[in-house]
Amino acid sequence: MTEFTVDTTARCQLVKITHDVQSAVTGAGLKDGLCIVFVPHTTAGITINENADPDVVFDIRSAFEKICPWDAGYRHGEGNAAAHVKASMTGSSVSIIVEDGRLRLGTWQGIFFCEFDGPRSRRVWVKTLPA
């Protein structure tokens, strides 16, 4: 397993980590198999989406804020309930096929770490499984 950190600078932020994940796959020497990317945090998540147009990331963040605003009278005493809900919406892991040592993503796809309770320093775990 490989671990790397993501340092975020805002409360809600999507950070492209495709290159970091590919580096983990390359470092593991995986040629063909599966790559699992896992975020061990309850107020952060992970997703795969378009990486070509930065407006998509802006729109995703905006939609999260509209669907689940920060101050909506939640009962969770710590004050970050919206972050927990958003993390549940994205999920904590994604799986990506690896062929010939490369992540098998679509033309416009990228892997994004989703921060919902930042800024923070977060961990991402990458596990590779041979075919």
Domains, the chain, in order of start with CATH, read: 2-130 (2.60.120.460)
Tell me whether strands 93-99 and 2-7 are parallel, antiparallel or unpaired.
Answer: unpaired
Q: Which pLDDT does position 116 carry in this prediction? A: 98
**CA-angle at 16, arms to 10 and 19, nearest 5°:** 140
Please tell me the predicted confidence (pLDDT) of residue 77. Answer: 87
- What is the pLDDT, as a whole number, of residue 118? 98
Quote the CA–CA distance of 89 and 30 in Å, as a whole number.
30
Secondary-structure percent of the chain, ordered helix, strand, coil, rounded to 5: 25, 35, 35
Averaged in consecutive runs of 10 residues, what is the pLDDT profile of the chain (131 residues)? 98 98 98 98 98 96 96 92 98 98 97 98 98 95
Q: Considering only CA atoms, which of 83, 103, 100 is closest in space to residue 41? A: 83
Whole-number Å distance between alpha carbons of 8 and 124: 13
Q: Supply the pTM of this predicted model.
A: 0.96
Residue 10 to residue 19: CA distance in whole angstroms: 21
Mapping DSSP to helix (H, G, I), strand (E, B) and coil, where does residue 29 land? coil
